[in-house]
Amino acid sequence: MSSPLLFQPLRLDGLELENRIIVAPMCQYSARDGEATDWHMMHLGQLAISGAGLLTLEATAVSPEARITYGDLGLWDDGTERALAKVLDAVRDYAPVPVCIQIAHAGRKASSEVPWRGGQQVAPDSPRGWLTEGPSALAHAEGEVAPRMLDREDMKRIRDGFAATARRAVRLGIEAAEIHAAHGYLLHQFLSPLANQRSDAYGGSLENRMRFPLEVFDAVREVFPAGSPVWARVSATDWVEDGWEVEQTIAFAERLKARGAAAIHVSTGGVSPRQTIAIGPGYQVPFAERVRAATDLVTIAVGLITEPRQAESILIEGKADAISLARAILYDPRWPWHAAAELGARVRAPKQYWRSQPHHLKDLFKEASFGQR
């Protein structure tokens, strides 16, 4: 009897995932000056032993001003590299799961308060705020301070910052990279006509709006070794009239594929508070299906995918190649174990937990054995 598709291997360039469950990047707003803390040790530690096929680090800023909040994780200097190395070394001692870094710049959505303190923009003259930067001097929301418009030198600095963060990630042994071009952050701002109203070679036409995100992708792809997968996360629609839409997403995905992208991670929204989203189970999956059908890129689906049979159906029906879990796996860090039990598959668990295998599921954990006097 063949294994459920959710638990079959998936190859991304030279990296083979043990199954098709991916831990999505989830901001924790718990870093100090960009440096990972003991919270990250606990948080990533439990997700690393979840049985998922890939663990993605939260959005990792390429510079202090690239952070969404003052609590965001970063990888821009020796201090942030040392702090993240400490966490990853501890995780790898006990969990063989490959790690992906999501490399990010928040653009005009930077300088925000942490969500549990309201999440609103922090004024540039506040001790915990700074002046943001973006493709155009357009504020994200009415009443907010507009970003400083990036010039060519600024864009080179940011592109080099992405490459520098990628080099540090490679030094840390991180196996894959995801470029954050979704959720209204800087690269999405360049893509969307709602945020990008430039009149130079980086604004106006679709080709021009895609130019800078593609340059950033190329810079990161060049740093990561051959065989190490690099891809992008995108918002397939702005959910706003005259904004970025799925047809443009397909065009962007085709350009990424031509440049060596191993996959595409399809989300939606985030660039405008005017968005109107029809939320329901799997509400973003139709966009992933459209992109996959048009490009034949390995496609990662995300968004209110909470049940094992729901995830399996998405894969069986050819709507995506992998399932990315965020809130669902925070709520249930053993989601892959429970999914394997429900679907009749096997999953990897740390040997320290082998004894927890339910009595009626004697073959749930791979390689499990136990004896005592």
Mean per-residue pLDDT, 201-222: 98
63: CB partners within 8 A, 6+ apart: 74, 76, 105, 158, 161
CB 329 within 8 A of CB 12: no
Q: Enumerate the β-bridge partners of residue 61.
A: 74, 104
pLDDT of 94 higher than 80: yes
Name the average pLDDT for the chain: 97
Q: Which domains does the chain have, with CATH numbers?
A: 5-353 (3.20.20.70)
Residue with tokens 């397909």: 250
Mean per-residue pLDDT, 182-207: 98
Among residues 185, 283, 331, 353, the one annotated as catalytic is 185
pLDDT of 1 higher than 70: no
CB 49 within 8 A of CB 95: yes
Q: Enumerate the β-bridge partners of residue 314.
A: none
User: By percentage, how much of the chain surpasses pLDDT 90?
Assistant: 97
241: CB partners within 8 A, 6+ apart: none
Under the banding of pLDDT at 50, 70 and 90, the label for residue 242 is very high
* Three-class SS state of 205: coil
Q: What's residue 370's pLDDT? A: 80
Is 29 annotated as catalytic?
no
Q: What's residue 178's pLDDT? A: 98
Per-residue pLDDT tens over the stretch 303-320: 999 999 999 999 999 999
Mean per-residue pLDDT, 233-257: 98
Q: What's residue 278's pLDDT? A: 87
Phi, psi values for residue 171, rounded to 5°: -60, -35
Rounded CA-CA distance 223/262 in Å is 15
Mean per-residue pLDDT, 92-117: 97
Mean per-residue pLDDT, 269-294: 96
